[in-house]
């Protein structure tokens, strides 16, 4: 079976609060022939309340992550 491959941005919350969901999801996707490659360098998306106070900073993390992903596909 050919494998579909995607870049994966897990975000802070799943790594902190839902690691078991991530593990099970990755296992299920692998069994379905879908391979996720986690971005090596990713940044918080700014959804955390402490970052949401500063409007500009709430966009910086997500923007930096998109830049890193773009570098990998060029």
| Collapsed DSSP state (helix, strand, coil) of residue 32 | coil
What's the CA gap between 11 and 3, in Å, rounded? 24
E strand or H helix that includes residue 8? strand 4-8
| % of the chain surpassing 70 pLDDT | 81
Please indicate, yes or no, whether the overall pTM of this predicted structure exceeds 0.75: no
pLDDT tens-digit map of 25-50: 999 999 999 999 998 888 777 666 55
Q: Find the DSSP H helices in 1-74.
A: 11-17, 19-31, 49-52, 57-73
What's the CA gap between 15 and 59, in Å, rounded? 20
């Amino acid at each position: 079976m050919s494998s579909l491959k995607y870049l994966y941005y897990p975000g802070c919350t799943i790594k902190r609060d839902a690691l078991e969901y991530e593990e099970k999801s990755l296992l299920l996707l692998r069994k379905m022939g879908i391979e996720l490659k986690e971005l090596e360098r990713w940044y918080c998306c700014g959804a955390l309340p402490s970052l949401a106070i500063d409007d500009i900073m709430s966009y910086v993390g997500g923007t930096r992550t998109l830049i890193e992903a773009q570098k990998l596909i060029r």
